[in-house]
Amino acid sequence: MYSRFGKVFYFFSVLVFLLALLYIYAALPEQIGFRLDNQGGILRDFEKNSFFYGLAFGFLLLNLVTLYTPKTLETKTNQKLHRLFPVGDPFRDYLLAWFYSFGGWVNFSLALSALYIHAINNQEELSAASYNLWFLLMPIVLFVWVGGLFVLLFKKFKATQVG
């Protein structure tokens, strides 16, 4: 049950990232700045296509790494993981939900980074300082999410020892 919510969250985050990527690609100038000095001038820049393809490659790589474990658990290709989290085990559903939702948060973080680059290069539309709260919130949420994995695994190992 929970894993389905995690999958919906994950696929929603993929759509948000793709829409953000396509939106900023259309709105960015040919030379993109990604580092500002104290006066707001651009210190480093690179080509628009390099940014687009680099971000798309990073997105694919991070999604492959994040989704490898739940996919091997669902398809039963990882026998050790399948023995630890068999079908019907409530912790299996929690673990799958955790991985899919973690992938969703990673995708939302990438979309936020892409929109921040857009804000740096289009200061007249949106100030880059308006992302400060989100840049504080995203690492905190990711840290809490990783803490949740350790709590989940601790409860599973405790239940395994008792049963």
Output the pLDDT for position 11.
94
Whole-structure pTM value: 0.81
Write down the domain spans for the chain: 2-162
Sign of the alpha-carbon torsion through 17, 22, 23, 27: positive
Q: Cα(148)–Cα(140) distance, rounded to whole angstroms?
A: 12
Output the pLDDT for position 123.
67
Q: Are 91 and 85 in contact (CB under 8 A)?
A: yes
What is the tens place of the pLDDT at every residue in 62-112? 999 999 988 888 888 878 878 888 888 888 888 888 999 999 999 999 998
Q: Higher model confidence: residue 147 or residue 133?
A: 147
Q: Higher model confidence: residue 29 or residue 105?
A: 105
Q: Cα(74)–Cα(81) distance, rounded to whole angstroms?
A: 10
Output the pLDDT for position 152.
87
